[in-house]
Amino acid sequence: MSSINYKDKIKDLVYNYYQDFHLSKKKIIPSKDYIPVTIKTFDEKEIINLVDSSLEFWLTSGRYNDQFQEKLSKFTNIKFCSTVNSGSSANLIALSCLTSEKIGKRKLEKGDEVITVASGFPTTINPILQNNLVPVFLDVKLGHYNLDCSQLEKSLSKKTKAVMIAHTLGNPFDIQKVHHFCKENNLFLIEDCADALGAKYDGKMVGTFGNIATTSFYPAHHITTGEGGAVMTNSNLLKFIIESFRDWGRDCYCDPGVENTCCKRFDWQLGDLPHGYDHKYIYSHAGYNLKMTDMQAAIGVSQLDKIENFIDKRKINFDRLKSAFSHLNDYLILPEYEEKAEPSWFGFPLTIRDDSPEVRKNLMKHYEQSKIGTRLLFGGNITKQPYMKNRSYRIVGDLKNSDKIMNSTYWIGLHPQINEEHIEYMFDITKKFFKN
């Protein structure tokens, strides 16, 4: 039997395994089964691709990764998409690359400031600290949970060099205002699109406004590769620097397993190295090894085929949830979005109008007892987190909404496996809490 026949046989067995083992577990029955706030959605094609890749045993980035990057670039309408091993790594590289000497006078240096929001996920903020830069924290708007743009001008100083903000829960911030602000003040703009793959603003994909965009493929997100993420840019220079930081900091840009792409491998002279030092071992940055494996990318290739359907289902579920929860408007602040925004919803955020943190705590317990998953809105006011003690940062305004989020905001799921029955159940459980 040829190897091709072996492969076909294995793929058939994988298909049968999916049908018998995974498909039967997908139905979630309200009150009986736990309704997760996030969940990976897949079929036999992802598993077949994964097995196919493992049989090749290439292990590091290979043909599937090339396909995945190309498909991701086409979907996001961003010229270069460089995959990495996590969304956190994507953010780390995105900001780190702006410290490169290759950027020239605009490069970020120790002590420079980066504007962000206080009510954000640590992985958006941590790269600022990790690069010895100073985060400047702004407040957000309740309901939107995105940057309050009225604070932008007040946040400027002589040390401001960049803006790095996430589109919260797939809801685009006013990217046109932020983009204009950055352009006017010669600032770099990094869009964290971890929660917002496929979201649009004024008809354009998020991620296409800034200098760099990032996204995540953790199982909770719109599509998954297990662990995984991507850094995206339209700049040839930034693409080179991004991949240098991702690949040990090397100056060489050969793909894995490829030699002498530049056609002068032994004819370089950089730094204080001797002329002719092997280009594959010349390092222009203090980088990392953060590549995505081909097995992860193989999953992503199939997941991207489903992304439009995933987004549509999330939008439908958002509308259903908003319609249902509008009956609790006296108790909860419902989510809103900018007029020009087309969100790609990651979750359904709600803020309890009552200012007592005890109310949210008791509500969370009520949800858990009823087998409904919930999450808080990331780190709340991040400046109150233990790891921020004795850190250097600057605050603009009073962050009152970030404090409110810290005490009173939560979100529930609207992923593709949630249907009308789940939504009705989640609403009924919530109504019982507030009406009793």
How crowded is the C-beta side of 19, counted as CA atoms within 13 Å?
6
d(CA 76, CA 307): 11
Distance CA 64, CA 298 (A): 5
Q: What is the DSSP letter of 251?
A: S
**Cα–Cα–Cα angle for 178, 167, 130, rounded to 5 degrees:** 85
Catalogue the long-range contacts made by 387-392 (C-beta closer than 8 Å, 24 or more residues apart): 387/122, 391/129, 392/134
Q: Where are the beta strands (DSSP E) in 167-270?
A: 188-192, 200-201, 204-205, 212-216, 229-233
**Residue 126: helix, strand or coil by DSSP?**
helix
Neighbours of 247 (CB within 10 A): 22
Catalytically active residues are: 221
Task: Pull the structure tokens for residue 294.
Answer: 């081909």
Report yes or no: 306 and 408 within 8 Å, Cβ to Cβ. Answer: no
How far apart are the C-alpha atoms of 242 and 219, rounded to whole Å?
24
User: How far is the C-alpha of 79 from the C-alpha of 97, rounded, in Å?
Assistant: 17
Six token digits for residue 283:
């390092």
Q: Of the candidates 199, 185, 219, 205, which has an alpha carbon nearest to the alpha carbon of residue 77? A: 205
State the number of CA atoms in the 13 A half-sphere of 193 facing the CB: 32
